Structure 1
Amino acid sequence: MADNQVAVVVVAGGRGLRAGGDRPKQYRLLGHAPMLRQSLEIFTRHAEVSLVQPVIHRDDESQFRNAANGLDVLTPAFGGATRQESVCAGLEALAPHRPAVVLIHDAARPFASEILISRAIAAGRGGAAIPGIAVSDTIKEVDADNRVVHTPERARLRAVQTPQAFDFELILAAHRRAREAGRTDFTDDGALAEWAGLPVAVFEGETGNIKMTTQQDFARHEARELAALGDIRVGSGYDVHAFTQGDHVWLGGLKIPHTQGVVGHSDADVVLHAAVDAILGALADGDIGAHFPPSDPQWKGASSDRFLKFAVERLAARGGRLMHLDVTVVCEAPKVGPHRDAMRQRIAEIAGIAVDRVAVKATTSEKMGFTGRCEGLVAYATATVRLPWESP
């Protein structure tokens, strides 16, 4: 066993149906990143944590790879039908590493602070410890008919959170015992530890360490974030490329078959180039040519998704959020309509925003001008961003 090695099991195998949306809640965006990524990052950044073991649903491998891209985490374990089975799978995956302490954390709690994690690690070296906060409401115990049968003493109650911390060998043995006994219904590892006879201590939790459970939780979080972003800005972008010999064009991050290609130093994606300039314009941060000059050979043939990611990262570095991106393509051909929804989806993926925050429209120039003569194509973009308010 590593004397001081600390590992973390991040449980992300559930379906999160109460949160609504078109994907499990752990992959929904909070700001510019999936919630799971934020829950993993708080541990990968912590100086005392050596190993981060994700546990995911078997059907979510692709979403997980996107969410965890670039993070120093272990290969995910696959969860079971219950949270307890998923935690056990994570512990078994860590068994060859034999850490001294393990923290068990729900991916739906992405706001745990570095201080809370440090408290958990210190408390876990004593055997078993869980974070809790004092209950401010009076709690009633009711029967099957919703009649009050008991009012517990409020001063003795705690609302329990994660990360919960344990001596690794003790909690692994407890989970194995529960599995052998046919117990798979524990929703809390502290309760499982109690069942196994382990003394469980409570250390101070955090009121900000909330669990994202319902659609209302996500709505409240976004409302709080937006309330802090009072500086609303709009930027515009424009790009044009001439047609040349070829068999495809790049538009909105998609390779679209066509009877011609386009002239450009990179992949000449007018949609993404216009979007980049719109975001940079809202930031008053130059233009695409200033950051990616065509005179620089490293950008020859480069995929324009790199440029859009760069612009979004510049926005995020200033604490801002991309609220909406509106693009209009002007050309006689190729036809944009059949690809519109796929374009919106691809742009949303690159920019890290919801697809309903991306609009793609197309029109012709009624046979007039260079676009009307099929000599090239044009894209216009408008980006709406929100930044933290700064006094003049």
Structure 2
Amino acid sequence: MKAQAKLRVAALIVAAGRGSRVGGAVPKQYRLLGGRTVLARTLSLFERHPAVDSILTVIGTGDEDLFAACSAGISKQAGHVFGGSTRQASCLAGLKALIGDRPDIVLVHDAARPFASPALIDRAIEAARAHGAAVPGLAVTDTIKQIDLDGRVKATPERSLLRAVQTPQAFGFDLILSAHLAAAEAGIETLTDDGAVAEWAGHPLHIFEGEASNMKLTTESDFQRAEQAANELAALGDIRTGTGFDVHAFAEGDHVWLNGVKIPHDRTLKGHSDADVGLHALTDAILGAIGDGDIGSHFPPSDPQWKGASSDRFLAHAVRLVRARGGAIAHLDVTLLCEAPKIGPHRDAMRARIAEIAGIAVERVGVKATTTEGLGFTGRREGIAAMASATVRLPWG
């Protein structure tokens, strides 16, 4: 199969607003949040993402020095341009500045959304690749009322059909540039986001899954909540890494348990519990990170109560030990070594199950598989081995 060509991706950060609803001596994107400015945090999201090639920021006139301090050390920074009197005008200024570079995809993101995850950026790029114009959205949980100018209710929209739209909004570059140029030519100036510009120009707009944590800092109470979250994370500054390794031999059977997923197979794995080699390695990795023995010391094979036990109990126990210490699981990663069964078709289910057991986001879980090229006991199909690592954050002291 022919490999898919690498697309050039540019991030356009809109930072020209004044943040009047928050107030303060500087615009909200230049306020400190957990010791760093909001804009510096936002730029870092795209700087660290491997699929983003360049970053262009739209700033307000007179903010050059503030921006220079925020963008120091951002190697992908392609400079800045000055925005206009509306968000729509600012985005158009940024898009025009990207014409020389002409990326395939542009991600337009609000400077005041510093909590977008790498997984959200991944989804945005893929949605733009697949649909041309796409925006992240969250299902609306509150009942929405449409009112008239006198405050009387006119309609109650069906909330299952409503979405609260976020950024980064993702587009084919030529598509969104031409849409913005056409809107400006027509004298349309009040469209509030780039998705609306694409809609106005007649392009179908796709909604992909957003993130509840991807909040926009709009009011003072938003900053207070964000500051509390940033301080709580900063307090967990004791970062530990643990590793785990486990092996189980094959026996007669018709399925195996791997990373919490039951997979049909012509053999089974032999062990005192369900012999889930992946979850056992992950459990040992977490216990290693907090220096609390190994899986055998917590769940002795000699104890009959663990005979045939589901290994999700072992992993959940290790996670509880971390939380009892005031800590948090930052990342879990497991590699399975086997010739069969094939892991690829079950990878997403495994990641989701591990994330569910550990109580973390699925983007904080990695699952990989490899063979030993026919060498050793795994190469002879005598069993399966697993290696795992766990990154844990604990409070200092």
Instruction: Give the TM-score, by structure 2 length.
Output: 0.57
Q: Is the 8 A contact 2:235 2:396 kept in 1?
A: no
Question: Identity percentage over the alignment?
Answer: 53
Change (3 A) 1:51 1:229: closer
| Separation of aligned partners in 2, 1:183 and 1:230 | 48
Structure 1 equivalent of residue 146 of structure 2: 141
Amino acid aligned to 1:148: V
Amino acid aligned to 2:30: Y
* Counterpart pick for 1:7 among 2, 6, 10: 10
Any idea what the Cα deviations from partners look like across 1:197-222, whole Å, max 9, x if unmatched? 00000000000000000111111122
Structure 2 equivalent of residue 225 of structure 1: 230
Structure 1 equivalent of residue 105 of structure 2: 101
* Counterpart pick for 2:73 among 70, 73, 78: 70
| Separation of aligned partners in 2, 1:69 and 1:229 | 22
- Determine helix, strand or coil for the equivalent of 1:152: coil
- Determine helix, strand or coil for the equivalent of 1:19: coil
- Determine helix, strand or coil for the equivalent of 1:74: strand
Aligned alpha-carbon RMSD (Å): 2.0
Deviation at 1:114, TM superposition (A): 0.2
* Counterpart pick for 1:28 among 31, 34, 54: 31
| Separation of aligned partners in 1, 2:64 and 2:235 | 37
Any idea what the Cα deviations from partners look like across 1:251-284, whole Å, max 9, x if unmatched? xxxxxxxxxxxxxxxxxxxxxxxxxxxxxxxxxx
Structure 2 equivalent of residue 240 of structure 1: none
Equivalences, count? 237
1:90 equivalent to 2:89? Answer no
Structure 2 equivalent of residue 116 of structure 1: 120
What does 1:278-289 correspond to in 2, within 5 Å? none
Change (3 A) 1:70 1:138: same
Deviation at 1:231, TM superposition (A): 8.6
Structure 2 equivalent of residue 177 of structure 1: 182
- Determine helix, strand or coil for the equivalent of 1:64: helix
* Counterpart pick for 1:211 among 212, 216, 221: 216
Change (3 A) 1:146 1:211: same
Q: Is the 8 A contact 1:3 1:100 kept in 2?
A: no
Structure 1, unaligned stretches of length 5 or more? 233-318, 320-387
What does 1:1-392 correspond to in 2, within 5 Å? 4-72=7-75, 73-125=77-129, 126-227=131-232, 390=395
Deviation at 1:44, TM superposition (A): 1.0
Any idea what the Cα deviations from partners look like across 1:298-353, whole Å, max 9, x if unmatched? xxxxxxxxxxxxxxxxxxxxx9xxxxxxxxxxxxxxxxxxxxxxxxxxxxxxxxxx
Deviation at 1:223, TM superposition (A): 2.4
Deviation at 1:227, TM superposition (A): 4.5
| Separation of aligned partners in 2, 1:53 and 1:229 | 28
Structure 2, unaligned stretches of length 5 or more? 238-327, 329-392
| Separation of aligned partners in 2, 1:144 and 1:118 | 41
- Determine helix, strand or coil for the equivalent of 1:130: strand
| Separation of aligned partners in 2, 1:195 and 1:3 | 30
Q: Is the 8 A contact 1:100 1:168 kept in 2?
A: yes
Q: Is the 8 A contact 2:47 2:74 kept in 1?
A: yes
Amino acid aligned to 2:108: I
- 199-208 or 30-39, which moves further after superposition? 30-39
